Amino acid sequence: MPSYTAPAKDAQFILHDVLKVSGSDIPGYSELEPEFTGAVLEEAGKIASAVLHPLNVVGDAEGCRLENGVVYTPKGFKEAFEQVKQGGWTGLDMPEEFGGQNMPYVMGTAVGEFFSSANQAFTMYQGLTHGAASAILAHGTDQQKATYLPKMVSCQWTGTMNLTEPHCGTDLGLMRTKAEPLGDGSYKISGQKIFISSGDHDMAENVVHLVLAKIPGGPEGIKGVSLFIVPKFIVSADGTPGERNGVSVGKIEEKMGIHGNSTCVMDYDGATGWLLGEEHKGMRAMFTMMNEARLGVGMQGLAQAEAAYQNAVEYAKDRLQGRAVTGAENPDGPADPLIVHPDIRRSLMDQKSFAEGARAFLLWGATLIDQAHRAGDKDADGLISLMTPVIKGFLTDQGYDMTVQAQQVYGGHGYIEEWGMSQYTRDARIAMIYEGANGVQALDLVGRKLGQHGGKYVLAFFDLVKTFCQENKDVSETFGKDFIDPLKAASKDLQAAGMYFMQKGMKDPNHALAGSYDFMHLFGQVCLGLMWAKMGKAAQEALDAGSDDAAFYETKLATGRYYMARRLPATKLHLARIESGADPVMALDADAF
């Protein structure tokens, strides 16, 4: 059985030593004193380890089942969900007026990682509800907010997002689901939606579906799409679930992983729905919460990598196999533990340096969202919009690779289901796909975000890196060589790639798009390089200040040096690929494949 311990100390280091949240002037941040956040993280960690994680393998083995139109979640899920609701974990960063705790988004993110690590399939029920509630919060009428939000913030009712149809995913303009106005402000919704996470289940009194559909006679394509609230049970005048609506589960999909989440085909047969936001502005309503949703998926990449890494470390310390090439380290035992072997170390360091760097990146991103939403900072909004596809695409790709590496540490035991390592990779795999497949993230980054406002936000990012490098090259005698020089070199590669796109992409956009995936990874590397440089600086300063936890900070510095030496040089490869342009990529006729 795999185990999980929430990395609360590491999150605290990032929040306080690196991001210095309680000193920030973002509204609500002054309350984020180390003691307060420490207490929240500790409690969240307990629930994650003791309640959610033991159900992770249960959910995987048992899955969800549909019987006579009713969806049943795996054994224990319902009771655990009650505990999460009771603890107030579902509304951590929601407004107090709707029953939330009004904490900044960064706290929701820090806690979300722990819950996701412990049980991704389970945590999605809550995550989707959060997404749907955010949409109602941003676009709902006062009555809609009053009707739905208190119940959704507490997860008494859960939510879903209905976008995909059998013939259209990314290209939602092709959508066929119809919404016919009934004249009384409601609409008749008909069509089929697929891949609906948490589509139905037995853990809530009601399920509030947010459904994209087209009102007949509206504009063609994506511009004619509207968003509707379609509850499973129509809400009665007294606010309780009443009549059953015309929406049903067609089937539960058989998936590679996240078996504990009910991924449903939803059939809308003249269901009653209510417009959320304006007619034909459904995509805009969806997009306002896309940054958060995509950041949440990037978080899943980190979360599975972290959980898998923890178990790989334990196995590498326990499993005796072979001898250290430099001499036995466990001479009284029959063999040395795996962890003595350099290649096992390499793998564990890849995982560790990724997870810690990714956590910093994610929490930094979350503070930018807070800065944008709570302080109305347009520049922060621009910067996080630019980096959102990077967070989503880079962290989920790399996170998945790390689960594969963790599984590999187990050898054959990683391939059988008994040890639980296969589940981490199977669960992590979905994060590269949903909320926009990673190729679409790369397209969003290069085709849309990069050039926004004349490249203002990417230039701001470069400035940020440059300023950091200028101000911190002398943090210690070796800091410049170990951290600043590699970061500078990586950032230069990113700038060169951006320059290539500007020059060549003008003539032929394929020159930019053929390098989009590499650009997303190049950007991600530089972001993690920057995070490691910041963490290295914070660690060095703590040591210089005579911290009594020197081992912790020394480990941070060593892990950062690993990242800079071993992972960051990938930027050169991405640049080389980008600069080879579109010709090699587009050379063949479709028939030649």
Residues in 113-172 that interact with its own copies by CB under 8 A: 164, 167-171
Q: Shortest approach of its own copies to residue 7 CB, angstroms? A: 12
Catalytic one of 165, 292, 306, 435: 435
120-139 vs 421-429: helix crossing angle, rounded to 10: 30
Which contiguous run of DSSP H or E holds residue 209? strand 206-214
Q: Shortest approach of its own copies to residue 271 CB, angstroms? A: 23
What residues between 554 and 593 interact with its own copies by CB under 8 A?
555, 558-559, 561-562, 565-566, 569-570, 572-573, 576-577, 580, 582, 584-588, 590, 592-593
Q: In angstroms, rounded to a whole number, what is the distance separating the alpha carbons of residues 328 and 170?
A: 55
Q: Shortest approach of its own copies to residue 547 CB, angstroms? A: 15
Q: Could you say which of 69, 216, 412, 454 contacts its own copies (CB under 8 A)?
A: 412
Q: In angstroms, rounded to a whole number, what is the distance separating the alpha carbons of residues 589 and 583?
A: 12
The piece of 46-54, 266-274, 402-410, 527-535 that touches its own copies (CB under 8 A) is 402-410
201 binds its own copies (CB under 8 A): no
Q: Let me know if 33 is a catalytic residue.
A: no
Nearest CB to its own copies, comparing residues 104 and 337: 337
Q: Shortest approach of its own copies to residue 591 CB, angstroms? A: 8
Nearest CB to its own copies, comparing residues 138 and 573: 573
Q: Shortest approach of its own copies to residue 356 CB, angstroms? A: 12
Q: Shortest approach of its own copies to residue 58 CB, angstroms? A: 14
Q: Could you say which of 415, 459, 499, 503 contacts its own copies (CB under 8 A)?
A: 415
Nearest CB to its own copies, comparing residues 67 and 254: 254
Name the residue with tokens 């993110």. 109
Sign (positive or negative) of CA dihedral 150, 155, 157, 159? positive
Structure tokens at 94: 């929601």
Question: Are the CB atoms for 250 and 215 separated by under 8 Å?
Answer: no
Which contiguous run of DSSP H or E holds residue 444? none
What residues between 280 and 319 interact with its own copies by CB under 8 A?
313, 316-317
Single-letter amino acid, residue 137:
L
What residues between 20 and 59 interact with its own copies by CB under 8 A?
none
Question: Are the CB atoms for 521 and 396 separated by under 8 Å?
Answer: no
Q: Shortest approach of its own copies to residue 579 CB, angstroms? A: 9
Nearest CB to its own copies, comparing residues 161 and 229: 161
Residues contacting 162, CB < 8 A, separation 6+: 177, 193, 196, 209, 210, 211, 212, 230, 266
Structure tokens at 93: 């960063």
Q: In angstroms, rounded to a whole number, what is the distance separating the alpha carbons of residues 137 and 140?
A: 6
Nearest CB to its own copies, comparing residues 55 and 446: 446
Nearest CB to its own copies, comparing residues 138 and 437: 437
Question: Are the CB atoms for 287 and 135 separated by under 8 Å?
Answer: no
- For 289, list phi and psi in degrees, rounded to 5: -105, 5
Structure tokens at 422: 């296969």
What residues between 513 and 542 interact with its own copies by CB under 8 A?
513-514, 516-517
Q: Could you say which of 229, 290, 344, 368 contacts its own copies (CB under 8 A)?
A: 344
411 binds its own copies (CB under 8 A): yes
496 binds its own copies (CB under 8 A): no
337 forms beta bridges with 320
What residues between 416 and 475 interact with its own copies by CB under 8 A?
416-418, 422, 425-426, 429-430, 432-434, 437-439, 442-443, 447
Q: Could you say which of 234, 335, 375, 496 contacts its own copies (CB under 8 A)?
A: 335
Q: Could you say which of 66, 138, 234, 349 contacts its own copies (CB under 8 A)?
A: 349
The piece of 116-124, 142-150, 199-207, 320-328 that touches its own copies (CB under 8 A) is 320-328
Q: Could you say which of 288, 508, 541, 543 contacts its own copies (CB under 8 A)?
A: 508
Q: Shortest approach of its own copies to residue 401 CB, angstroms? A: 9
Question: Are the CB atoms for 111 and 44 separated by under 8 Å?
Answer: yes
Q: Could you say which of 275, 303, 348, 428 contacts its own copies (CB under 8 A)?
A: 348
Q: In angstroms, rounded to a whole number, what is the distance separating the alpha carbons of residues 398 and 542?
A: 29
DSSP 8-state assignment for residue 329? S
Q: In angstroms, rounded to a whole number, what is the distance separating the alpha carbons of residues 173 and 191?
A: 15
Q: With helix as H, strand as E and coil as C, how does 13-37 read? A: HHHHHHCCHHHCCCCCHHHCCHHHH
Q: Shortest approach of its own copies to residue 324 CB, angstroms? A: 9
What residues between 233 and 262 interact with its own copies by CB under 8 A?
253-257
Between the alpha carbon of residue 425 and those of residues 36, 253, 403, 406, 442, the distances in Å are 34, 19, 5, 9, 22
551 binds its own copies (CB under 8 A): yes
| Burial classification of residue 325, based on how many CB atoms lie within 10 Å of its CB (0-12 exposed, 13-18 middle, 19 or more buried) | exposed
The piece of 49-57, 204-212, 295-303, 405-413 that touches its own copies (CB under 8 A) is 405-413
Q: Shortest approach of its own copies to residue 413 CB, angstroms? A: 8
Nearest CB to its own copies, comparing residues 285 and 313: 313
194 binds its own copies (CB under 8 A): yes
Q: In angstroms, rounded to a whole number, what is the distance separating the alpha carbons of residues 178 and 180?
A: 6
352 binds its own copies (CB under 8 A): yes
Q: Could you report how far apart the first and last alpha carbons of the chain are, in Å? A: 44
Single-letter amino acid, residue 109:
T
- Positions annotated as catalytic residues are 435
